[in-house]
Structures are given as structure tokens and as C-alpha cells.
Structure 1
């Protein structure tokens, strides 16, 4: 076998391994998606459960008289992973979100049309709305926000809505 063929074969095998691992990773990440018994699609992120359907979340928010937190992310977003590891795992933040909000997760890549309709241009992106789905003025967060700043931001939203 010539050197050129060996190099091409090595490149081909390397590409297959890379694409195979990406495919497997994507399938494993999608395994976290769950459907509840009532047909609502949800996804768990630590101690938080996010709806993946905004219409169903809006219906729940109205019936429970809670605000809505829409968290937009993408699979390969490093800032999203940092935000999730730091902020969305903080006990204080989890408590505020679970007590006061119906949570929605938007995959900005897989749900591109929805993301564009919501005005999401970067990830992570946080949107806070009333139980009727109206934006809370000044509450949007385009991009990453550190843990303490996010906690203070949430506290401000809660205090203004009470």
C-alpha cells in the first residue's frame, strides 16, 4: 500500500470516528428529553424541569399565575454550559425559579424559527414574561450573566412583580 493511500485511509478513519462520536453525543443529550404523562414535553436540567413547548408552558403559567422564564441555549455553546453549571445549579436561583416561574428551554439551533420569532440572537439568552406571555420590561438578558448578577436580576424581577 502506498504512503498516499495510507494517509487517505487514516484521514477517512479519523473522520468516521469524529462524526460517530458527535452523533453518539447528540443522541445521548437528546435522551434527557422526557414527556410527562399529560403529553407535555419537558427536559430536566439538574433540579429544574423545563417545558420545550411554549404554548403548553403559557397555559400552565396562566393556570398557576406564574411568570415565564425562557432559557435559550445551543448544544455547543460554552457560555451556556458555564451558565448552567454556575447559575442554574445555585440553590437560591433554583428556589426562585421553581417558586415563581414556569420554565421553558429553547434550543436556538433546533428551534431556529422560534428563536428568531422571540428575538434571540445569541446564546445563552434569557427572557422573562408575565403569565400572559408579555415581556417584562428591561428583564431580557442577551448573553452570559454571572451567578450573583443573575440572582440579583431574578430578585429584582420578583420584587417588581409582587
Structure 2
């Protein structure tokens, strides 16, 4: 009887503290996403390579890349330190003014050779396209590509 009461009391305390204690908050890192205009302006002051994540709202692989690849802590650190990262919705037709010209995201995506989603377009410091890379990339493959792009002259 005494052990039953002790067991019940212990279980009650465990249940009580599991509901009253606040969950530990872990700090999640995020990529500092910019618009294409912001990246262009920052690049004028501090040149860096740029990568543009060309996506659409309906693209499942784009969402998977957001969730799994772009949230990887190593990717986040590398991108935030060495690149300007741009999110570009390829279906957006709102005007974008950059370097005195007005265009839209749809036209920018086409001019960079994007034909499917997701596509990551790498751009040199002089704002010339290095290469569009279509398709989903896991964190390891994406990191390998970023390292190669950093070596690009």
C-alpha cells in the first residue's frame, strides 16, 4: 500500500511538472533573405556572390528545400557569411526597379534561364549569371555547390 502511494505521488509530480515547465526554446538560425533589389544595392557597397532561389508558391520541391536544405545550420552560416541570398517568386509580375530599369520577377527568372522549380541561380559579384542549377538539392549537395561557386572567378 505504501509503495502504491509513493508511486502515485511520483507519477503525479511527473505529470504536474511536464505540464507546468516551459519547453526549452532553441535558437533557430535563418538565412537572411533579400529581395533582388536589396542584394543589388548591398553588392554595390560590399561585393559578394549571390544566389537566387527561384521558386513558386505551388512547388512542393521548393517547400522541401526551404524546410530541409535552407534550414540546415551549416548552410545558414555559410550563406549569411559569404553570399547574398535572394528569394524570387517566378510568377510575381509586380514591378521591380533595379539599376534604373523596371522589370518583374517573372522576366528576371526567364532572363536567367530558369525553366523549372526550384532553380538556384548563382551570380558573380559583377551581377553576371554564373549558372542556373535546377532541381531539389539536399543540404550536403547544396553545400558542395556553394563551395564550388565561392572558388569561381
Q: Same fold (TM over 0.5)?
A: yes
SS of alignment partner, residue 76 of structure 1:
coil
SS of alignment partner, residue 140 of structure 1:
strand
Separation in 2, partners of 1:82, 1:59: 29
Deviation at 1:161, TM superposition (A): 4.3
SS of alignment partner, residue 43 of structure 2:
helix
Task: State which structure, 1 or 2, has the greater radius of gyration over its C-alpha atoms.
Answer: 2
Correspondence for 2:64 = 82
**Pair 1:152 & 2:116 matched:** no
Deviation at 1:76, TM superposition (A): 0.9
Correspondence for 2:30 = 47
Deviation at 1:55, TM superposition (A): 3.5
Normalized against structure 2, the TM-score is what?
0.67
Deviation at 1:114, TM superposition (A): 2.2
Give the number of the structure with larger relative contact order, counting CA–CA contacts within 8 Å between residues 6 or more apart: 2
Correspondence for 1:119 = 113
What stretches of structure 1 move > 3 A for 4+ residues in a row?
Answer: none
Unaligned runs of 5+ in 1: 1-45
SS of alignment partner, residue 150 of structure 1:
helix
Correspondence for 1:132 = 126
Unaligned runs of 5+ in 2: 1-28, 93-104
- 1:103 aligned residue (85, 101, 116): 85
Q: Deviations over 1:58-115 (max 9, x none)?
A: 2211311211111101111000011111110001111111011111111011132222
Separation in 1, partners of 2:44, 2:82: 12
RMSD of aligned C-alpha atoms? 1.7
Separation in 2, partners of 1:131, 1:108: 22
Normalized against structure 1, the TM-score is what?
0.63
SS of alignment partner, residue 105 of structure 1:
strand
Deviation at 1:140, TM superposition (A): 2.6
